[in-house]
Structure 1
Amino acid sequence: MLSAVETRSVSPVFVGRTTELSTLQDALARATAGEPQALLVGGEAGVGKSRLIEEFAATACREGAVVAVGGCVEIGADGLPFAPFSSALRALRRELPAELAAAADGQEEELSRLLPELGEAPTGRHDEEGMARLFELTARLLERVAAERTVVIALEDLHWADASTRHLLSYLFRTLHTGRLVVLATYRSDDIHRRHPLRPLLAELDRLRTVRRIELARLNREEVARQIAGILAQEPDPAQVDDIFERSDGNAFFVEELAVAAHEGCCTGLTDSLRDLLLVRVEALPESAQRVARIVAEGGSTVEYRLLAAVARLAEDDLIEALRAAVGANLLTTAPGGDGYRFRHSLVREAVSDDLLPGERSRLNRRYAEALEADPTLVPADERVMRLASYWYHAHDPAKALPAVLDASTTARRRHAYAEQLGLLERAMELWDSAPEDVRVTLRPADYTEGYPPCGCDPRTTPLRYLDLLAEAAVAGRLCGERERALKITKRALQLLEDDPDPLRAAWFWTQRGRLVQALARGDGWRELGIAQDLVRGLPPSEVHAEVLTGAANWSMLHEPGPDALVAAERAVEYARMVGAREIELNARVTLGGLVVDSGDHEAGLAQTREAMDQALAEGVVHVAGRAYVNLPSELEAVGRSKEAVALLREGIDYTRKYGQLDAEAWIWGNLSDSLYALGDWEEAATAAATALRRGQSAQPRGMGALHLARVALSRGDAAEAHRQLDAARAHFGSHDPVPQQRLPLARIAAGIAAAEGRVLDLRTEVIEALEGGVPLGTHRYGWPLLLAAATAEADARLLPAAQPGREDFLERLLGAVKSLTTDAPIWLAYEEWARAELARAQGTATAELWSPVVTAFEHLERPYDLARVRHRLAEALLTPAPGRASAAEDARDRATELLRLAHAVAEHLGARPLAEATTRLAQRARLSLSHPPARTDTDPVTALGLTTRERDVLHLVSAGRTNRQIAEELFISPKTASVHVSNILAKLGVSGRGEAAAVAHRLGLFRVAPQGRP
């Protein structure tokens, strides 16, 4: 009703800011072209940030963009979780309802944490990825909405932002890659002191090349003159301009205030104090308007009209008259949407609020709280609980504040605003002793907590305990990354439990402490898990017991897989079933399936893991399903089934991305890189590894991504890049918690780099240290490549004088490790034969007869790079003259030529420079050509392929699915001779396996009739 009141002190002329506006318009043009833009606009209070955004928003709207503005909300001294994003999304929903609904389709429940209008937020246990999941879904929502139309999201007053808002903004700035989207945020730079929570975020964003930062300077004298002219609607006196410019120092807001004061003839009454300057026009208002201004100042950034009326307790006509005076003096302005009032500038609000007496502030907060309790509809539903908690807390009424703060903490948790939840819980702990006993006994865990720890008490009837608050706060601290605070909370809880023993609660806190110790790189967490196990030992089955056992099984699977880990996993599943803890049961079953695979029972373990994953998917247990999408393909890769792993991993990427599971997705990308490397798709493997680095929120999956990049670089002969990625992987993994799946691959890469640089002694040191840590059951997939790399390096360096000291002892140690390492899958049986052949080469005793079965073994596997390497070795052995002969036999030379051609072609295709150079050197020494001879013109396809009569017969039987032994029986030759013929056929056909050879024969129609007497 007052929106038409003239605001004379605001200049109708937009002054200066040409460069800044041009930068914003350039960002708009880039976004319209499909390149998302991120900008930060900083400047001191009053310098004109909001006016710049208004002008840019008007320009963007004229060009067809949709502009959604949201501001950080300050309630007393408290921020409102995700307030600017909620406001902006609400505005976006008003402008593009159909587009936003389509973009949110299927994820309304999760996104309702930011925009309650979309639905009801889901309940259930919270996990580490809850906030990341919400952030990812928000980013995807914005990208979809901005797919066809340019969207500008403007977030104002970032200096008031809550921690969750800061984290979400950081995430968006780092991850938005598509969409016609501009995201910009403003902040007050003079407020950002050394300990301000926004400071680290600004430093982080400064390092991002995709974020542009605009700093608004003060106006110069010419711009000040133009601003004054716009305000006064006439050219100002030069002396007056000089005076205002000197006193305002070019601050646009101060220019406005001083110009109006001078125009009204009260310039001489102003002091040089900023506070006095800001209050002087307030004090010139009628008393009723001053009173309303003081009420609005304490109510928050914006105060709704009905709430203001309830607190002011004025007759409606008197209230309207007071508001008219305040708006007419340009002190207050109507809020966006016209439903409330706010100060035109936050500096004035702060000055008015600071001028309140302590008792006056408490009284106003109490009246706000009482009015809101009497009529909850006075404020938007998604703000009500938070604002009530803030009002009661600042009213200094513990009896009222404690339950209100606890209500607010549960709301923050539901929104995944864990940092705010932690702060509110700490506030509740502060109020606990001050609140009357009769109030505390009425509080129930079911109303305010997630039930941590689940100790069997009925949360609906048992009174809330201080330990319950500590448990909730410990989890909130862990989930929001405030691990130091969470660790201190667990320490406090365990101290209290020493005086009032409760084994289940203590075990739960020790479990939490173990996770925090691991996350903070203070240890591996086993000591804490051990204490927890001791505490629950002998107690009846419980959810805590099942959770402790699951934690122990998970730890053992990574650190010491074996029978003890298997028993722990089986007991965890059993206990979880007994107490009906379904999520814990499914999680334990994923662990159990992996351990069964590691024990050697591959099919049973894979089936168990698949069943647990299917049930987690069906029941919507997202975090367990995400973990299964990581573990099951990893186990498939562990037994050499890479193609199956890749298909499942791609499915897992879609699933984890849909549900915003960033770390699970990063692990999946790392595993995908592993499997693609094995299958010979190195370009995609490198891309997948880089994606794991980019998507991972935690250090571990990022470390795995760097490790896979190091492996690709090393295989391609780029030792410097491999070294750089190895250092990055080590930095991510840290040294506090070594596990075999990290320790052994790190040693393998380090050994490979040392070999490439000719540092044989350093290689031995790396391998010996790794082997001293052991190769536990189930980690053979990491042990065999390390042993092979060591054996290969020793064989390559066997004639170097510098490699002789200690060489025999090291070879003996390698041979002992080869003999002791468990081998139970075809891929690792092949690796065992390969390692033994390399050790024989290191001793100078390798022959073609030793290498031929290694090649045969790899011909049945989907490992083109490994096959190329062993073909190169077989060719080398074939070209080595037999004793008493000057050169290799002609048929051996022919076969070696084909083997080298195949190996060289694979090396060239993969970019494996060391292997390509090695095959070239060997061919040159043997005077062989790596280029294929001209194609034959024979009409007979078999003759055109260069096959001999005997090879034709062998190919006929291979096409019919015969094994080498069956071929030997039918053709009356030895199995070894049959193997040689098969290898020659594969080389001539240019294929890597028997199945491909059969496919070529079928495609060319070589054999119309099956061998006689066979089906």
Structure 2
Amino acid sequence: MLGPVETRSVSPVFVGRTDELDTLNDALARARAGEPQALLLGGEAGVGKTRLVEEFAAAAARHAVVAVGGCVEIGADGLPFAPFSTALRALRDALPERFAAAASGQVEELARLLPDLGEAGAGRHDEQGTARLFELTARLLERVAAEQPVVFVLEDLHWADASTRHLLAYLFRTLRAGRLLVLASYRSDDIHRRHPLRPLLAELDRLRTVRRIELARFTREEVARQIAGILAAEPDPARVDEIFERSDGNAFFVEELAVAGCDGRCAGLTDSLRDLLLVRVEALPESAQRVARIVAEGGSTVEYRLIAAVTGLGEDDLIEALRAAVGANILTVTPAGDGYRFRHSLVREAVSDDLLPGERSRLNRRYAEAVEADPTLVPADARVMRLASYWYHAHDAAKALPAVLDASVVARRRHAYTEQLGLLERAMELWDSVPEEVRSALRPVDYTEVYPPCGCDPATTALRPLDLMAEAAVAGRFGGERERALKITKRALRLLEDEPDPQRAAWFWIQRSRLVQALGRGDGWHELATAQDLVRGLPPSEVHAEVLARAANWSMLHRPGPEALAAAERAVEYARMVGAREIELHARLTLGCLTVDSGDPDTGLAQMRQVLQDTLAEGLRQMAGRAYVNLPSELQSVGLDREAAPLLREGIAFARAHGLLDSEARMWCNLSEAHLALGQWPKAAEAAAHAARGGHGAQPRGAGALHLADLALARGDLAEAGRHLAAARAHFGTHDPMPQHFLPLARVTLGIAAEEGRVADARAVLLQALDAGFPPGTHRYGWPLLLAAAGAEADTRTLPAARPGRAEVLDRLSETVRTLTTGAPLWQAYDQWTRAELLRAQGRDTAELWSPVVTAFECLDRPYDLARVRRRLAAALLAEADGDDGARDRAVELLRLSGAVAAHLGARPLADAVTRLAQRARLTLTRVPSQALTSADPAAALGLTSRERDVLRLVSAGRTNRQIAGELFISPKTASVHVSNILSKLGVSGRGEAAALAHRMGLFPAEPAPAPTAG
């Protein structure tokens, strides 16, 4: 507005910072090469962070798009995501077409960060809402920076709101691709022990992908060069010494002292920092000083028209005052040219601190009145937050309460739940100071989305403190501020002791249950049981249905059985009666899981498939995410891993597209388990690593670590298995024991102890699990544990140290085996296997016993398990052979197949066991299995399924995976999976070898040539 103004205090010469610039330029070079970079720039106030960023950005602009956003100090009162909004706006303006393409399909969600994109989606809020927004933002930046390098700068993190800090942390943790450099700066001397940025810096320090730069003060030589730049002449050495000593090398203080000396104002200047910062302000004309005081209280940046409205000065007088402040280098024009800000925040803070208490509240009132009179004075996306801040600091409770509530609604819309919680807490603080007539005009429907039942219409009933507490409790849970949310629920329940309302109290007990579980304070059952007691006997309601649905879901995870099934059925019935669709779908999904686990998989799986279909059709993404987790999990529970795997990949794509991070992590866990079962161990490890990523919740990280422990144990790396097991235990904790966690943990613990020869430790783990029992529905995790224990007892049968107590252990194992469900082929196979191991532990197993076990697993897609039981059958055959060449030949074939699978998977303990058995029996395992060569159906003898036989026929004909997929109407990826399984079962290393073996075995005799037709 005033045009370029000549300044004398800023040196035109950029001084020092060579090492820091080298670090930034190196990061830019890596980013341009496709390796995303994350950097933190810290330094005390005035040390030169902004100047360094400006120099780097100016040079970087030759190779990249530079987008800069700054935190504003008013962020303490709102303006969530302010620096991201500003930087994203700059990025969109620089690359409009690429930005639009990258945001395609997600505009409604991204509008929460960048309101310019349009109206934010009005969908229901949930616990994954913030994570969803964060994931979409990270992927947006990666897509925009896929080809064009982008430097994304966020300044003044010490003022950042909680939502900005959380989004930055997520971005730094999850950057995976793109030519992107993210640089964030902060004032290190402001980061006191309780500053909210401090934990974030500590967290980011642990990330190897984040580089941290600490900007030091200038040396004496650098101070001399800075002064020379300011004066355009070599300074007097004595003057340099004096300024260096007084400034201690702080670049901003050097400027102030140098200018003070030039203006003859050095005499009488005290060593007080405040005096040093105010000395040039106090030298301004009175009108300019007044304008400076007004701008200091308006925020980090204040619009020109707003300044004019608050000062009340005529345009000429205002321009003259502003010109004086800009000419003295106190104020500077904003880059957009529509407002002003202090050139340095230290000066603004000093001016603001110099205001009298009454003066500060009066200025805030004038700001608020000006914005209310003309809302166009401030940008639309900042208006509500600015009003809330101005009225609150004006100490006008009657005006501040509605403004703060309006701001809380805006924060909720932007998924800035921590800021929403703070604003609601501020509203509760103001509540008693507001006249009754103002409070009675407020309506819950205008300010809250959570309506605990009160038998009233929220559109006509006055807002109550309990309504604010309900909204605040949910905001705290969504925003991760669980401790604050828990305190609010306790306060609400104390109020409800004086004003009994069973349904409202039950609602708060539900919230308390969820918070207690999330905080690791317990399993949440006491709170749920209390809620059940409160609604028992009341007419059906949405709260009643939710209590039943939550109780059923809790029981499914902790104590599955008939009672859980009955609770789920009642929850579905009640939800339908009151039209609570989401609760109904939630309960139906739980009911489907419990139905499968109760031994009726066909009915349960059909119910779950219908829920998935309904949630997708109705756009209920959160519920669809849960269905994509639970349906494949139940398919896996009955051995249908091959059917579950593509559904999980579909679910992962869905979850990623819609930012359902927790659901995605759980799907990666299930996919890892599927790959483990199907013998695709590298893929299993990759999926487990995805689940164990730091950005996910504790439970998926624990499950991912547990799958990695499983893999390490099967590969014989006990140290690695122990490390992953410890990580899994830490993630799961001890506050909320679930069978799906503690039974697999017990199995791996027992397996490690058995492999290390610690018989007593292995038995202790088993007996603890047996004492806890295996309720109906826990067989999925119980069978593998019982099998591992029976196998361990059999392996130690001949050890003298293992004899004491063996009989009791075997008796208890046998007794438990009789109680577990066998309602699916997989569990029937596990039942047979475990019983065979128990007889082996007594020295009574036979080939006749093991043969049906092998047959059972040949019908299942579990190559590793099949290899293990084939080895057991081979051992039994060799023990009984007694010169029977046929039995020895069959044992050779079984061991060869078992060894081939072990080698392919890298299962060293199994491979070693096969080798030892063959060596003891003096067997050679390198020839083609004679059973396969002589069998009437050699493909079946090798364990090939009918589909694998079709694929092998096409492999033998020289078809590629894509050609195989086309002929068999499957995907190329599925064809590739089949080929890998075939190579494992044949014990060959490549397609050519597989084709040659198929030819030798006569699997696919040449078809006769067609008869010639008459010409």
Range into which the TM-score falls when normalised by the shorter chain: over 0.9
Is the 8 Å Cα contact of residues 72 and 80 (structure 1) preserved in structure 2?
no
Q: 1:912 aligns with which of 901, 907, 910?
A: 907
Is the 8 Å Cα contact of residues 114 and 415 (structure 1) preserved in structure 2?
yes
Q: How does 1:925-944 map to 2 (within 5 A)?
A: 925-932=920-927
Residue deviations 1:791-814 (CA, integer Å, cap 9, x gap): 111111001000000101110111
* AA of the residue aligned to 1:557: M
The residue number in structure 2 matching 1:498 is 497
Deviation at 1:641, TM superposition (A): 0.3
Q: Is the partner of 2:42 in helix, strand or coil? A: strand
The residue number in structure 2 matching 1:288 is 287
> Counterparts of 2:927 and 2:566 in 1: how far apart (Å)?
58
The residue number in structure 2 matching 1:54 is 54
Deviation at 1:452, TM superposition (A): 3.4
1:704 aligns with 2:699: no
- In structure 2, the CA distance between the partners of 1:818 and 1:356, relative to structure 1 (3 Å rule), is same
The residue number in structure 2 matching 1:947 is 934
> Counterparts of 2:367 and 2:220 in 1: how far apart (Å)?
44
Residue deviations 1:193-242 (CA, integer Å, cap 9, x gap): 11111111111111111111111111111111111111111111112111
> Counterparts of 1:700 and 1:956 in 2: how far apart (Å)?
39
* AA of the residue aligned to 2:911: A
Moved more, 321-330 or 774-783: 774-783
- In structure 2, the CA distance between the partners of 1:954 and 1:864, relative to structure 1 (3 Å rule), is closer
Q: How does 1:865-884 map to 2 (within 5 A)?
A: 865-881=864-880
The residue number in structure 2 matching 1:892 is 887
> Counterparts of 1:755 and 1:47 in 2: how far apart (Å)?
61
Runs of 5+ in structure 1 lacking a partner? 936-942, 962-984, 1010-1015
- In structure 2, the CA distance between the partners of 1:85 and 1:316, relative to structure 1 (3 Å rule), is same
The residue number in structure 2 matching 1:787 is 786
Q: How does 1:811-822 map to 2 (within 5 A)?
A: 811-822=810-821
- In structure 2, the CA distance between the partners of 1:951 and 1:732, relative to structure 1 (3 Å rule), is closer
Q: Is the partner of 1:713 in helix, strand or coil? A: helix
Deviation at 1:252, TM superposition (A): 0.6
> Counterparts of 1:792 and 1:955 in 2: how far apart (Å)?
26
> Counterparts of 1:687 and 1:990 in 2: how far apart (Å)?
24
> Counterparts of 2:788 and 2:488 in 1: how far apart (Å)?
47
> Counterparts of 1:345 and 1:403 in 2: how far apart (Å)?
34
> Counterparts of 2:942 and 2:19 in 1: how far apart (Å)?
77
Q: Is the partner of 2:267 in helix, strand or coil? A: helix
> Counterparts of 1:508 and 1:72 in 2: how far apart (Å)?
38
1:192 aligns with 2:191: yes
> Counterparts of 2:931 and 2:724 in 1: how far apart (Å)?
48
Q: 1:903 aligns with which of 877, 898, 901?
A: 898
* AA of the residue aligned to 1:691: H
Moved more, 445-454 or 26-35: 445-454
The residue number in structure 1 matching 2:447 is 448
Deviation at 1:1003, TM superposition (A): 6.0
The residue number in structure 2 matching 1:582 is 581
Moved more, 590-599 or 486-495: 590-599
The residue number in structure 2 matching 1:219 is 218
> Counterparts of 1:956 and 1:535 in 2: how far apart (Å)?
61
The residue number in structure 2 matching 1:836 is 835
Deviation at 1:1006, TM superposition (A): 6.8
> Counterparts of 1:138 and 1:956 in 2: how far apart (Å)?
50
Residue deviations 1:989-1010 (CA, integer Å, cap 9, x gap): 769xxxx99999896227889x
Is the 8 Å Cα contact of residues 174 and 695 (structure 2) preserved in structure 1?
no
- In structure 2, the CA distance between the partners of 1:946 and 1:609, relative to structure 1 (3 Å rule), is closer
> Counterparts of 2:32 and 2:252 in 1: how far apart (Å)?
33
1:923 aligns with 2:918: yes
The residue number in structure 2 matching 1:973 is none
Q: Is the partner of 1:362 in helix, strand or coil? A: helix
The residue number in structure 2 matching 1:975 is none
* AA of the residue aligned to 2:8: R
- In structure 2, the CA distance between the partners of 1:500 and 1:894, relative to structure 1 (3 Å rule), is same
1:768 aligns with 2:767: yes
Is the 8 Å Cα contact of residues 545 and 583 (structure 2) preserved in structure 1?
yes
* AA of the residue aligned to 2:672: S
Is the 8 Å Cα contact of residues 456 and 542 (structure 1) preserved in structure 2?
no
- In structure 2, the CA distance between the partners of 1:363 and 1:666, relative to structure 1 (3 Å rule), is same
Moved more, 666-675 or 236-245: 236-245
Q: How does 1:839-858 map to 2 (within 5 A)?
A: 839-858=838-857
Deviation at 1:270, TM superposition (A): 1.4
1:275 aligns with 2:274: yes
Q: Is the partner of 2:252 in helix, strand or coil? A: helix
Q: How does 1:460-859 map to 2 (within 5 A)?
A: 460-694=459-693, 697-859=696-858
The residue number in structure 2 matching 1:202 is 201
> Counterparts of 2:147 and 2:657 in 1: how far apart (Å)?
21
Q: How does 1:51-450 map to 2 (within 5 A)?
A: 51-62=51-62, 64-75=63-74, 78=77, 80-450=79-449
> Counterparts of 2:944 and 2:622 in 1: how far apart (Å)?
47
The residue number in structure 1 matching 2:24 is 24
Q: Is the partner of 1:809 in helix, strand or coil? A: helix
Is the 8 Å Cα contact of residues 665 and 696 (structure 1) preserved in structure 2?
no
- In structure 2, the CA distance between the partners of 1:143 and 1:92, relative to structure 1 (3 Å rule), is same
Deviation at 1:550, TM superposition (A): 1.0
Please report the TM-score for the alignment, with normalisation by the length of structure 1: 0.93
* AA of the residue aligned to 1:25: N
* Percent identity for Structure 1 against Structure 2: 76
* AA of the residue aligned to 1:226: R
Is the 8 Å Cα contact of residues 385 and 408 (structure 1) preserved in structure 2?
yes
Q: Is the partner of 2:148 in helix, strand or coil? A: coil
Residue deviations 1:918-946 (CA, integer Å, cap 9, x gap): 0000000000012125x9xxxxxxx9973
Deviation at 1:956, TM superposition (A): 14
Is the 8 Å Cα contact of residues 716 and 911 (structure 1) preserved in structure 2?
yes
How many residue pairs get aligned? The number is 968
- In structure 2, the CA distance between the partners of 1:466 and 1:508, relative to structure 1 (3 Å rule), is same
Deviation at 1:127, TM superposition (A): 1.4
Residue deviations 1:812-861 (CA, integer Å, cap 9, x gap): 11111111111100011011111111111111111110111111111111
Is the 8 Å Cα contact of residues 932 and 939 (structure 2) preserved in structure 1?
no
> Counterparts of 2:257 and 2:415 in 1: how far apart (Å)?
45
Deviation at 1:260, TM superposition (A): 0.9
Residue deviations 1:324-367 (CA, integer Å, cap 9, x gap): 00000000001121111000000000000000000000000000
Moved more, 798-807 or 125-134: 125-134
Q: Is the partner of 2:41 in helix, strand or coil? A: strand
> Counterparts of 2:931 and 2:472 in 1: how far apart (Å)?
77
Deviation at 1:169, TM superposition (A): 0.5
Deviation at 1:188, TM superposition (A): 0.5
- In structure 2, the CA distance between the partners of 1:632 and 1:76, relative to structure 1 (3 Å rule), is closer
Deviation at 1:269, TM superposition (A): 3.0
Is the 8 Å Cα contact of residues 41 and 187 (structure 1) preserved in structure 2?
yes
RMSD: 2.2
Is the 8 Å Cα contact of residues 76 and 300 (structure 1) preserved in structure 2?
no
Runs of 5+ in structure 2 lacking a partner? 948-981, 989-994, 1010-1015
* AA of the residue aligned to 2:172: F
Q: Is the partner of 1:269 in helix, strand or coil? A: coil
- In structure 2, the CA distance between the partners of 1:538 and 1:1008, relative to structure 1 (3 Å rule), is farther
Is the 8 Å Cα contact of residues 477 and 515 (structure 2) preserved in structure 1?
yes
Please report the TM-score for the alignment, with normalisation by the length of structure 2: 0.93
- In structure 2, the CA distance between the partners of 1:230 and 1:838, relative to structure 1 (3 Å rule), is same
Is the 8 Å Cα contact of residues 173 and 207 (structure 2) preserved in structure 1?
yes
Is the 8 Å Cα contact of residues 369 and 392 (structure 1) preserved in structure 2?
yes
Is the 8 Å Cα contact of residues 173 and 694 (structure 2) preserved in structure 1?
no
Is the 8 Å Cα contact of residues 78 and 385 (structure 2) preserved in structure 1?
no
> Counterparts of 1:987 and 1:68 in 2: how far apart (Å)?
52
Is the 8 Å Cα contact of residues 332 and 341 (structure 2) preserved in structure 1?
yes
Moved more, 544-553 or 423-432: 544-553
- In structure 2, the CA distance between the partners of 1:944 and 1:445, relative to structure 1 (3 Å rule), is closer
Is the 8 Å Cα contact of residues 451 and 459 (structure 1) preserved in structure 2?
no
